[in-house]
Amino acid sequence: MRLVILEDYDQASEWAAKYICNRIIQFKPNQGRYFTLGLPTGSTPLGCYKKLIEYHKNGDLSFKYVKTFNMDEYVGLPRNHPESYHSYMWNNFFKHIDIDPNNAHILDGNAPDLQAECDAFEKKIEEAGGIDLFVGGIGPDGHIAFNEPGSSLSSRTRLKTLAMDTILANAKYFDGDLSKVPTMALTVGVGTVMDAREVMILITGAHKAFALYKAIEEGVNHMWTVSAFQQHPRTIFVCDEDATLELRVKTVKYFKGLMHVHNKLVDPLYSMKEN
Amino acid sequence: MPSNKSVSDAPIVQFTNCRILRGHRLQREDLWVREGKILNPEKLFFDEKGSADIQLDCKDSIIAPGFIDVQINGGFGVDFSLATDDFKSGIDLVSQKILSHGVTSFCPTLVTSPPSVYHQVRDFLPSHPQGDKGLRLVPRGERAKAGHVETGIVLPQISIRNGGSHGAGILGAHLEGPFISKEKKGAHPEHCLRTFEAGAFQDLLTTYGSLDCVRIVTLAPEMKRSSEVIQELTKRGICVSLGHSVANLSQAEEAVQHGATFITHLFNAMLPFHHRDPGIVGLLTSDKIPAGRRVFYGMISDGIHTNPAALRIAHRAHPKGLVLVTDAIAGMGLAPGRHTLGQQVVEIDGLNTYIAGTKTLSGSVATMDICVRHFQEATGCSVETALEAASLHPAQLLGIEHRKGTLNYDSDADFLMLNDGLYVQATYIAGKEVWRQDALGM
């Protein structure tokens, strides 16, 4: 794995956005060849989305030939509820960019047959040629998407009941009222994300530090599902200083020492204008 | 990118780089319009997989709902209370001209007038589809052929209609009088005042003829049998407004309990506020308003009809009820001098208008955008508050806020582009530009 450590949240968000931008542009997507991107929600990626929008508004990055697949969506929450992941993606990303609505895929938590909806989602990913870059986050309990502790590391897209840690973490979006937080969600499986050609995990903040430690310094374990990516050939963890607080000094020093190598991935920052 | 045609073929326009008034605040959001209505872009994206056909850069303008003027007596030489041969073209002229003031809907107001101004000739052409209830204008030529004598009728020539490039929409007539108080007639002609103590609602109906296109009636609630009249009017969906009256607070409260919801030009033509009997003004803070109802009040904020301090007192006492009105008269938009208002002659001098030869104020010549700016300056209120006083509140008064007065999804796309000084730069009705400030300024 690559462990890219930036000083603070803003710098981590910017590094991640630059990386995504460069990957899309270097791929040279066109009508016959779309770049497929897996996308997360939550507070961690907000800074990254803002930067991507900025690159788009400056004319440096277009999403015209990008297909996106979101990781998850709550079950039973109306699609236009302000806390649904559809609302999140519209307000924080889609409405600011030029993506074709036909290419923005999000699981439908109100589908009449939830498992069929999940199977169809897997099929859509397959038909799109698989995911080129899956961007994700990590929960305080070490989960990737809603693959809660105990999820099979070879799982596919399915219905999951949320763990208490997750419900507590999400309560802040529902006026702090636990009873208002949805208890179930549709989520891509660990196996689904492992199938991506490349995975980038964003981890910022001291409250995620323990989960990061468990994910990369301990063994592969279905209780900390992000640990599965130790077995993925191309994973990048992008974090801020605070998220490294539970790591060994040795680990942090090693990867910080590699920053000059990592930075070659984002510098120069490409632009579609140069074509 | 083409929009999904399965729902509608109509082009989708996205207004970008603007600040829109929504949810009581100016937000950096784009405004989406399709088929004359405000469109929900998120629904478009996820349900229809649609996107904009046309994107317009609004150069950081403020976008606000179009202004609604519920009290306007005329303008540009046209007097809504005066029957003329070309009354129709007069109303058309005013409705077209006020687009530049930001008004997208209005209620042509008729002041106290002789019955002949209200009454329609009772005979209709047999082919009329609505029979006796219709208010289609019967052309003069046809009536003369049928052998009827044409009297100067006005009210039947006012019809409810949507706005467009031809002009602002007409929501219905505002009948201010003749059932008002002699002591507070203001500029209304005394010889035309009437009461309804004999036949109550029937008297009113006899005076006005048909109420089909009537939206608001101003009356004095202290008049005998007013409660019955107010109830009847309210039952028919007509907004009852209290004004030109010497009512005390209890009489005003009783009127509100029977259905009255508006006060005509607060402070003017009513008893002044008194600390032991606040009169109609006391409605602003009355505790006898039925639950779930709100009393609205018109304010002429031209800087003349109401002292700014009084404007502030009213605004602070009851900010959600304030409705800006122009009460504009025929002279609005014209050069200083003499003009007619109903049956009388008035004199214009700057923004001041008096009954010729007196110091009695009679209507205003300030345009709606002037009123909005003056209201904002005098009260120091937010831009959002000033704009809502001329759009959201009148829409709420008339019970039409689900389609007018806001930029909510599915509302009629009647809106304005304004600069930061609240000067109207462009006016849109049903999503189409119907007026634009030209480069040289108008």
Chain A closest-CA separation from residue B1 CA (Å): 8
**Alpha-carbon torsion B227, B233, B237, B241, what sign?**
negative
Give residue B150's pLDDT: 38
In chain B, the percentage of residues whose pLDDT exceeds 70 is 90
Q: Kindly tell me the sign of the dihedral angle through the C-alpha atoms of B162, B239, B218, B196.
A: positive
**B46/A100 Cβ within 8 A:** no
Asked if A79 is an interface residue toward chain B (Cβ–Cβ < 8 A), one would say yes
In chain B, the percentage of residues whose pLDDT exceeds 90 is 72
Give B-chain residues touching A101 at CB under 8 angstroms: 44-46, 48-51
Q: Give the Cα separation of B218 and B241 in Å (integer).
A: 4
- What residues of chain B, 225 to 284, have a C-beta less than 8 Å from chain A? none
| Residue B121, pLDDT score | 36
Q: What span, in angstroms and rounded, lies between the C-alpha atoms of A79 and B7?
A: 19
Helices (H), B258-367: 308-317
pLDDT of residue A174 exceeding 80, the answer is: yes
d(CA A258, CA B23): 49
> Which of these, A106, A275, A83, lies nearest to A187 by C-alpha position?
A106
Low-confidence winner among A29-33, B67-71, B216-220, B360-364 (lowest mean pLDDT):
B360-364
Alpha-carbon gap: A110 to the closest alpha carbon of chain B (Å): 13
- Taking the Cβ of residue A100 and every Cβ of chain B, the question of whether any pair is shorter than 8 Å is answered with yes
CB atoms within 10 A of CB B199: 14
The one-letter amino acid code at B307 reads N
What's the average model confidence in pLDDT over A199-212? 97
Binding site, annotated residues of B for substrate: 187, 268-269, 276, 305, 361-363
Cα angle: A180, vertex A113, A45; to 5 degrees: 50
Average pLDDT of A26-43?
96
A102/B contact by beta carbon, under 8 A: yes
Q: Which residue in the list B79, B327, B369, B414 is annotated as catalytic?
A: B327
Distances (CA, A) of A226 to A44, A190, A246, B180: 16, 8, 16, 78
State yes or no: is A72 an active-site residue.
yes
**8 A C-beta contact, residue A98 and residue B16:** no
Which residues, including other chains, have CB under 8 Å from residue A145's CB and lie 6 or more apart?
A40, A71, A72, A136, A187, A188, A193
pLDDT at B123: 29
Q: Is A86 on the interface with B (CB under 8 A)?
A: yes
- The answer to whether the CB of B164 falls within 8 A of the CB of B430 is yes
Q: Is B361 helix (H, G, I), strand (E, B) or coil?
A: strand
Amino acid in position A83: E
pLDDT at B128 over 50: no
The single-letter DSSP state of residue A83 is: T
* pLDDT of amino acid B152: 55
pLDDT of B135-159, one tens digit each? 334 444 444 333 333 345 778 788 8
pLDDT band at B2 (very low <50, low <70, confident <90, very high): very low
- Nearest chain B residue to A57, by CA: B17
Lowest-confidence segment of A91-100, A260-269, B78-87 by average pLDDT: B78-87
Return the higher-pLDDT residue of B353 and B340. Answer: B353
* Predicted local confidence at residue B147, as pLDDT: 34
* Position B402 pLDDT exceeds 50: yes
**Residue set of the binding site of B:** 176, 187, 244, 265, 268-269, 276, 305, 361-363
Instruction: Check pLDDT > 90 for residue B86.
Output: no
How far apart are alpha carbons B364 and A252 in whole angstroms?
A: 75
Please say if the pLDDT value at position B4 is more than 80.
no
Task: Compute the distance between CA of residue A75 and CA of residue A89 in angstroms, rounded to an integer.
Answer: 16
Whether B46 and chain A come into contact, CB under 8 Å, resolves to yes
Query: What number is the average pLDDT over the span A15-43?
Result: 97
Q: How far is A46 from chain B (nearest CA, A)?
A: 18
pLDDT class of B127 with cuts at 50, 70, 90: very low
Please determine, for residue A152, whether its predicted confidence score (pLDDT) is greater than 80: yes
User: Which of B6 and A203 is assigned the larger pLDDT?
Assistant: A203
pLDDT digits (tens, 9 = 90+) for B308-325: 999 999 999 999 999 999
Q: What is the pLDDT of residue A275?
A: 54
Question: What letter does residue B85 receive in the DSSP assignment?
Answer: T
Contact B112, B193 (CB under 8 A): yes
Which residues on chain B are in Cβ contact (under 8 Å) with A98? 1
Nearest CA in chain A to B44: A101
Calpha distance A64→B1 (Å, rounded): 10
C-alpha dist (Å) from residue B31 to A56, A87, B121, B368: 20, 17, 47, 24
Question: What is the reported pLDDT for B125?
Answer: 28
Are the beta carbons of B341 and B82 closer than 8 angstroms?
no
Higher pLDDT, A108 or B117: A108
Nearest residue of chain A to residue B2 (CA atoms)? A100
Active-site pick, A132, A148, A240, A241: A148
* Closest C-alpha to B104, from B158, B162, B172, B58: B162
Whether residue B160 is predicted with pLDDT greater than 90 in this model: the reply is: yes
Beta bridge partners of B364: B328
Residue scoring higher pLDDT (B338 or B65): B65
- Residue B316 has a pLDDT of 97
Check pLDDT > 80 for residue B186. yes
DSSP annotation of B379 reads H
Catalytic residue among A56, A105, A143, A222: A143
Provide the 3-class DSSP secondary structure of residue A166: helix
User: Angle at the Cα of B402 (from B397 to B404), degrees rounded to 5?
Assistant: 70
Q: How confident is the model at residue B398 (pLDDT cuts 50, 70, 90)?
A: very high
How would DSSP label each residue in B227-269?
HHHHHHHHHTTPEEEE-SB---HHHHHHHHHTT--EESSTTTT
Residue A132 is among the residues annotated as catalytic for this protein: no
A96 contacts chain B (CB < 8 A): no
The string of DSSP letters for A18-74 reads HHHHHHHHHH--BTTBPEEEEE--SSTTHHHHHHHHHHHHTTS---TTEEEEESEEE
**Cβ of A31 under 8 Å from any chain B Cβ?**
no
- B-chain CB neighbours of A104 within 8 Å are 45
Q: Which residues pair with A176 in a beta bridge?
A: none
Q: Say if strands B432-436 and B424-429 run parallel, antiparallel, or are unpaired.
A: antiparallel
B337 touches chain A (CB under 8 A): no
Among residues B81, B77, B75, B79, which one has the least CA distance to residue B101? Answer: B75
Give contacts of B30 with chain A, Cβ < 8 Å.
95
- Is A242 marked active-site? no
Give contacts of A80 with chain B, Cβ < 8 Å. 42-43
B410 in reach of chain A (CB within 8 A): no
pLDDT band at B440 (very low <50, low <70, confident <90, very high): low
Percentage helix, strand, coil for chain B under 3-state DSSP, each rounded to 5: 25, 25, 50
CB-CB under 8 Å, A94 with B30:
no
